[in-house]
Chains A and B, each alone.
Chain A
């Protein structure tokens, strides 16, 4: 209840500030927000666009939230996403199986690509005690340039003018039903599986406790070092899955700038959701709605779509700040109530 209120409060404050900004710039905030709503949730097409946009956001968000809640500071979602996308692309370029086999295989390849990239950071941590915080950040750069090299030279589509690969085999394209892309189904499945894992399995319990108090978990008999590696592998796989689904659901090839902001947006979603998994899902959808609605807003009222970035920034600040403020306020109220009870 308090969480819901906090989220709504933050969103309200952010929208009010965004509206104020538009007013100052001479735009009509009400018409703009109307357009935003219309192009993000009003009809099946708009809703489908929002859900499709949410796929990488939610998956990288899950990756970051699960990692942060379990202890490891995996900030490698951008790199793991790229490596996952590359792995799925390579699979799609060199294999052609029936779709029923091809799609799951490419999805697995994408997850393996992301897991491998995160696993590298885990390995460096286990062997050389290098902080995964730094290593995952640096590996983002490496992945960035490695994938650019890969699509510029060995995997380049010779008929294209900018660096990109040829399209992957059609059997690896994610099926679509009207406006809806089946990438959304994979995302929903990943949300459900991650939640089940975290809440119902023994490993999920150990990860959660280890993230809160690693020494306690260790003394309780949890294999904290081994768990660390598994957290990195699984959260890497989630980010890699995001990359794979982006390729298989959208352009069907790896082109330059693919998934550019998705990794960092996912980290942001995790922070806003305070690492709660249902929270990641809801906030991921919400941010995706703003991103898809902003284009419509530009179309109708001429407000530049960059306002979406401003709104996102204000949202993060407003939600996180109101969470802290609300905690203070409720705590004070509780104390006052208790003091009154005792005086009586």
Chain B
């Protein structure tokens, strides 16, 4: 079964090969990363078939290497294949392959296209390894590797100010979260002495309560950073400065889902401490609602999708907070497909309309039929409309909450899904209907539409696998309860209707200014991203800058004074030494120099080009050598 290692190894290999190539060669070798991801995809399907029909959490394959030794205990990096990993492998490779094929068209003739594909391959490899990982340390390594790739791809157009700042912001914000991961690692090593998932999860009941709380909260905090949960959500909307397909893969389908994935794996650790579970639930609910509200006021189509991603990830956290990992993972899976579909569609739309601002779009439906259909499928799945996949996964979340008697939470989720349906309708109507505002609209290239169609097909049918999915992961799969389904459909329908009333009515000139005025402060707050960035600016960044300035002043006044004193003393010493220099040392130096000059001009005579002079030298040397030998040997 060791061939499973080839799944992450293939993209790694293609990254390594691309890395050593020159830019021109890379441009001609783009088939390499695409071929490697398809190789991984095929192997993932085989791996999935091996695990099928699943039903237990036991791993069917294990491998490990000793990475280091810490205080006499081996630190293992190990991998394992269990049903969860198999599903995630499929998700990552399918979305990855779709994104890479799409990128062939989207990034065409981009100057650093080869580098883009190389980083994409590295990212895919890291995510696949994270999914297979059976050791928290390996997970953390891959976690950081993905952070690096995310940084590189957000800052892909580093010539511009925006992407550069966004990449730094993303990296630093997720770093704040990673601190939690590190603390959790320390705590777990302290009590367990191993990073293996199995050992950690088996011994978790025996841990001291404080350690369990620290580890649990550390992991939750790390996941909140990676999955852009309130209050660490600020980096994800800015991350949209990167190439759109990269956003589809990293900031919609896979990397941001890694937080949810790790928490789902480590859920028993969090469950030891009740307040951490409550925190998870509250964070998820807040994020789901706020993300949706923020998405509703964005004009940039990619930002709408970014906030919607935040909101959907919040829903997954809600499921985790309700202690139902299978539901969270199912929503993760469906979301990965329809959100990457939406991002890819957004890429096509942006290419066609030459803008990201929805206010300057409109009427795309008539010119881009395939994009319209696939994008609408993705959007309706996001709005949780029956029978698309998003409906099933969101319905399960609501059902779980009702089952656990979290009625308030269920209400918030329904409200969030109403808001979601509203901004989905707003986006659809603004982009695809209404008067055309751009000339020369044309459909995207085949290499971009084909992956979108595949993802749209998966979005259409995946929902019906809902009970099978839960059974496969070892849970109890059930079909949606008609009562719950009716409630959630009502909220989605209400949201869509509201959106239609604002943006879709034929009579309505899209003018929401009057509503914005009526809502006053509420709208302003949303437009200002609920002041998160402003608060961080005032609370963290400005004091930091102020501190830096104060240190600089101290530096100049105090430290520099000392340095200047030292310098002045040094100058005095140097003046004395200069006198010594001129009289004594220069004499010697000049003497050496003229001696060298004399030797040089004498030596120059040897190089006069007359062959017989050389011959004489050689002969003389031979004679001297022979005489030396005679003397040594005594003739």
A binds B: no
State the B residues within 8 Å of A (CB): none
State the A residues within 8 Å of B (CB): none
